Amino acid sequence: MATPAAYEVRASGFITTRLRLPRLVLDGQWAGEVFDQELRAFLAEGAALVERLIQRETPEGATAQLRGTAFAEMRGDPVRTIVAEWPAAYAEVALRGRRPGKGPPPGALDAWVRRVLGVSGEKAVRAVAFLVGRKIARRGTPGDPFLHRVQVQAEGRLQRMLDSAASRIARRLEGR
């Protein structure tokens, strides 16, 4: 007999959603294979869903780099976790904001100044980027709670997907 398994969806340590699989009675190797097949399929589908939601909700910014670096994958042995991550160095700043006291590194705002403010000419871009950076250092920036939006959108859908996987497992085991 198997105990209820906990499955997690984590996004770079910012949010964690725990899903519960209903208690299932498993007997023998065949039942274990059915269980593994269905849950791996759930995790693969869940990772794809989370990645789509993250791609849609992550702020585009000036270069769309943050959105472009987000990914979701299955992890663990046995696999029980979907992890979403952003290799981009400024992912945490985009999510949580920046407190006053420190500005962005030189050159970090150049693309934003060009794209958002429409400034052209290298000297003008650097000058405006310096002024924007100084203001950020003085006042900070608010974060964008995009992961909260992903969590709200994903939680119910993931639980329904997991419940559906449990139903498929039960039907397959009854139909042996």
What is the sign of the dihedral through the CA atoms of 47, 49, 54 and 55?
positive
pLDDT of residue 16: 58
pLDDT of residue 93: 81
pLDDT of residue 17: 59
Closest to 46 (Cα-Cα) out of 82, 70, 78, 76: 82
pTM: 0.69
Residue ranges per structural domain of the chain: 6-96+143-174, 100-139
pLDDT of residue 1: 41
pLDDT of residue 3: 45
HSE toward the beta carbon, residue 166, CA cutoff 13 A? 18
pLDDT of residue 18: 62
pLDDT of residue 137: 94
Question: Which stretches in the chain have pLDDT values below 70?
Answer: 1-32, 62-64, 77-80, 87-89, 176
Q: With pLDDT > 90 as the criterion, what percentage of the chain qualifies?
A: 16
Neighbours of 34 (CB within 10 A): 19
